Amino acid sequence: MSKKIILTGDRPTGKLHLGHFVGSLRERINIQNSNDYDEMYIMIADAQALTDNADNPNKIRENIIEVALDYLSVGLNPEKVTLFIQSQVPELTELTFFYMNLVTVSRLERNPTVKSEIKLRNFNTSIPVGFWTYPISQAADITAFKANVIPVGEDQLPMIEQAREIVRSFNSTYKCKVLVEPKAVLPDNEVCLRLPGIDGKAKMSKSLGNCIYLSDSTEEVRKKVMSMYTDPNHIKIDDPGQIEGNTVFIYLDAFCTDEHFSKYLPEYKNLDELKAHYDRGGLGDVKIKKFLFNVLEEILTPIRERRKIYENKIEEVYNILEQGSLKARAKASITLKEVKDAMKINYFDDKELIKSHIEKYKNKGE
């Protein structure tokens, strides 16, 4: 039986928000609590974040602790999962350098996620090499731990595919079975793949200012929910309202359960009934927004409370990250050794090599 090893991570460029929560954090917690895994690693990808923030290391530094607090506050348990910082595991950099020989420039150019990120950042022709090659470093992150299960958002699928190719190429080039092919795990609820921002326009993202953060206060959440984009043509309560593209309903699809109805809106059994009423007309936006607010508050309150506890124990949080990084390093260095052995770059440990060279030069001078 092969082991089930989970690895995933986030770039520390800002606090985590509800998009992260439904896209991947919730799945991580489910796996953790199911106990159906052998090892689980969660990485704060500071080195990757630096590939397009080289001039702003302070931003990354400040956000490492934010992401760590978010991890702990959603319920990731450092006794059960290894939380670590990417840059503190230098073996990952070494693996990246070796894998670079197995990837062509044109393959990197085809990676759709990198392509769209380059556009988004207006790099034009001045793309930092580190940024452009980060899919290779991500393959190192994954393979260093022999991870086979990667809970990520949809945008990360091309990274996992590229990692799989690198694994196959490595194992066939060096005729070994050292590396393990990873598989992505996406949320099964479609709306969770791309949770829109509160403006309804695009994916929730820090740069667009349309996020609800896991660390937002009750008042902030209330304000944001009340300002959410709905159906612009639903002017009078009696008008029929549109469900499709209605951000409040998209969020309800992502977050609410039938129990939420019996608790906060007992005149409806479930979301289908609520949708049908909205569609018919006679249901106002304020009512659905208040319901969504209650649903989100039920989810966010325990997260906020746990965050408070850890905010008062920052030293302990750093200690968790430090211990986790040591543990991650120990594991990654085993893989690195196997990789180097497979590539025959273990010169000083290879007694046969040294002996054969002694033989080679033995009679030369005579």
Residues that bind ligand TRP (CB under 6 A): 7-11, 45, 48, 138, 141-142, 150, 152, 156
Minimum separation from the CB atom of position 13 to ligand TRP (A): 9
Q: Which is nearer to ligand TRP, 294 or 333 (CB)?
A: 333
Minimum separation from the CB atom of position 142 to ligand TRP (A): 5
Minimum separation from the CB atom of position 182 to ligand TRP (A): 8
Residues 210-249, buried b or exposed e (16+ Cβ, 10 A)? bbbbbbbeeeebbebbeebbbbeebeeeeeebebeebbbb
Minimum separation from the CB atom of position 309 to ligand TRP (A): 26
Q: Which is nearer to ligand TRP, 9 or 241 (CB)?
A: 9
Q: Which is nearer to ligand TRP, 52 or 216 (CB)?
A: 52
Residue nearest to ligand TRP (CB): 45
Q: Which is nearer to ligand TRP, 205 or 294 (CB)?
A: 205
Q: Which of 94, 85, 96 is nearest to 60 (CA)?
A: 85
Q: Which is nearer to ligand TRP, 28 or 224 (CB)?
A: 28
Minimum separation from the CB atom of position 340 to ligand TRP (A): 22
Q: Which is nearer to ligand TRP, 111 or 156 (CB)?
A: 156
Minimum separation from the CB atom of position 338 to ligand TRP (A): 19
Minimum separation from the CB atom of position 232 to ligand TRP (A): 32
The answer to whether residues 23 and 56 touch, using CB atoms and an 8 Å cutoff, is no
Q: Which is nearer to ligand TRP, 112 or 281 (CB)?
A: 112
